[in-house]
Structure 1
């Protein structure tokens, strides 16, 4: 293991912070009391863009792509579980593992996370502002976007993980109850839903299907799961069963949520021949459809669920990616302090996500920056899947923590999927 990896291992193993730090892993009957990091990563990964993608899948193809949403959740379970397993088994972090594969991985991640943060910051603030503007039209979209960014900045700056997790659970509960309630309200046909699990590919749906599998439920944030398990206080391989239950339950909830959105798209939009706009603005169009069919109360509830989805994604990125960045920065410097909540690097990235992206709210996003962002983003998920195959089959992990047959097959399949998506994304950018 590299010197930086050993440094990270010493630092993390001695870190006493976290609500579960110092406690023995719970028995199976008490695991539900300790659920949290998985809910955080799942809530972070499902944002306004995922709502749009799933609703459009339902509006264009009915239930035919239901299986793709389910497969996407299975893929994300494998990726986030593999990342967290490396953290728990080595006492180190996934970034330390990447550095052991070569210093180029650190530079790749550093360039990516700076560009990604600049553009995603503006995207997250705008997405959060959409339902708030519809609910409270007294302020402009830009004003609500700035307020959303400042709220995320202040909340993450002044609160530790335990408070952050509690708020995320409340937001997940709100969005889950409202969106699943909408799916029940539109009275889906059970035979049609069952037909959506037949792995069919309607004409013109291939790359849309791949995008649905690859995008719904998070991208880079799946790799942040390990940092949240450490912030929770989970240390060592005895916590692996707890982590796996936590991760699986979280993505089962995500799967139900995504299926609910696809049902709403299929029942309200596909059956009526309504085309939803291919952007976050399209969600406001669905609000109009709901108001016309079910009344203003249901439309308002949808906007509240939309807002909870967007806010949870914003808070999750503001907190989780700041942890990720701080670990990268202090490993790059070879220093033992930092890499945790409240460190200087943590607060720098928190500010980077909030303030520079506000300039994008006042002007069109620079074309070249969007091109670079798209290319790096397309290449990150294959990078994550392939490196997890390399790291979690290595001898630096205890035998009981290494990949099994199912993990290797799932990660290898994920790598192939994301390589195809990367080729498609880069080709469309060049085009």
Structure 2
């Protein structure tokens, strides 16, 4: 969603076959502002944000209400386009990272992020490893235990991110997205969607009892803290100034259009395969294993196994994306905290210049990688402590309102060059998104407490 005050999107420099090389070298953007060959960071953030839990939530909405909430899935993608665009625009228009911007809003943002990222990483690490292990255990029964598969997935994610840089991460995420896209769309076609009902679902209707399913579809699919990582991936791509904003917008829209297709396809599967037959799934990621069994009964083992491969791609892409993206956030947080302490003064923190790729080799980046991998493995042997789950849920519920509110603050202030500040449309969408996330936050807190 373009939505912004700003220029006409034209940027200088670069041409012809040299455009792709320009991104790698951090040189000038394409002469006409965009190039389909350069798309990448948006795919990474979308693949990271769409995990097994999101697919289950969409399936359950389809199984409960059929096609009725199709419109909510579409609006959810538009909301995430606006949030990601705002994050990327901040990085490119100001030359500052999101953590840098947050620090300029006051010490409270630093305290919140520090507590959140440590606690979130501990619980999410175990969740992501377990989610990736489920389809592998189903594909290779009798080989390893679920716990062993989970540990292997965590170690694989650690090794891949530790020894590679963003360019390789982007390539493997493109593969994961290709697999997810092919499998989910294939299954949606196999269940023979009723296109008339699907198009009717684009008309906003709110059935009885559907309010929080609807809000969850709008606000839940496509990432939480990984939305904040988008600007870091944009910079890692070599896009470093406002000339790249048109390219970033194209990248972002393509990524979330792809996400929208995932969501719509899973809603179709839920509506046709579950709603019409009055079938139920288990809660959480195990619901996808239930769906695999239903697919095998109806379409055979090949389709079921293909779906499990797609399930693994969705889950393990989140491992790779989080291990890389949130580690970049944490490394930036440590760097800026140390710089502010060294400066020893209040006010705006110093602007740090970090060479592209250097942050991925830093000890804070690798330290957080280890934090995401090894301490969470203890939760694989234990039931998650109730207090930890509640604290994780509370902090997580507050993150998206925090992100929307701080983006509104930053992009409407003199911290952002005037030509790249929010326009009316962007302010409207971010405000509505922030209010939506507040409602979801209150609901989640009610459910937790």
Which band: TM-score by shorter chain?
A: over 0.9
Work out whether 1:316 is the aligned partner of 2:321. Answer: yes
Partner of 2:105: 101
Please give the residue correspondences for 1:389-400 in structure 2 after superposition, counting only pairs within 5 Å.
Answer: 389-400=408-419
Quote the residue 1:144 is aligned against.
149
Aligned pairs (5 A) from 1:27-426:
27-28=31-32, 31-137=35-141, 138-334=143-339, 340-426=359-445
Residue aligned with 1:20, SS = helix
- The alpha-carbon deviation at position 80 of structure 1 amounts to 1.0
Distance in 1 between residues matched to 2:47 and 2:313, nearest whole Å: 10
CA distance in 1 between counterparts of 2:191 and 2:419 reads 46
How many Å separate the matches in 1 of 2:92 and 2:25?
13
Q: Deviations along 1:85-107, whole A, 9 cap, x unmatched?
A: 10001111011111111011011
Residue 202 of structure 1 and its aligned partner are, at CA, apart by 1.3
Q: 2:24 aligns with which of 13, 20, 33?
A: 20
SS class of match (1:305): helix
RMSD: 1.5
Decide which moves more: 336-345 or 278-287: 336-345
Give CA-to-partner distance per residue, 1:220-259, whole Å, 9 cap, x none: 1111100000000001110000000000000000000110
> Would the aligned equivalents of 2:23 and 2:29 in 1 still touch at CA under 8 Å?
no
The two structures have a TM-score, normalised by structure 2, of 0.90
Asked whether the equivalents of residues 18 and 162 of structure 1 are also in contact (C-alpha less than 8 Å), the reply is no
Q: Give the drift of 1:29.
A: 8.7
Deviation at 1:28, TM superposition (A): 4.8
Equivalence for 1:11: none
1-structure distance, mates of 2:256, 2:270: 21
Report the equivalent of 1:8.
Answer: none
Query: For residues 107 and 21 of structure 1, what CA distance do their matches in structure 2 show?
Result: 36
How many residues are matched?
414
Structure 1 gaps, min length 5: 1-16
What are the Cα deviations for residues 300-359 of structure 1, in whole angstroms up to 9, with x where unaligned? 100001111111111000000000000011111117587711100000000000000000
Runs of 4+ in 1 over 6 A off after TM superposition: none
CA contact (8 A) 2:34 2:247 kept: no
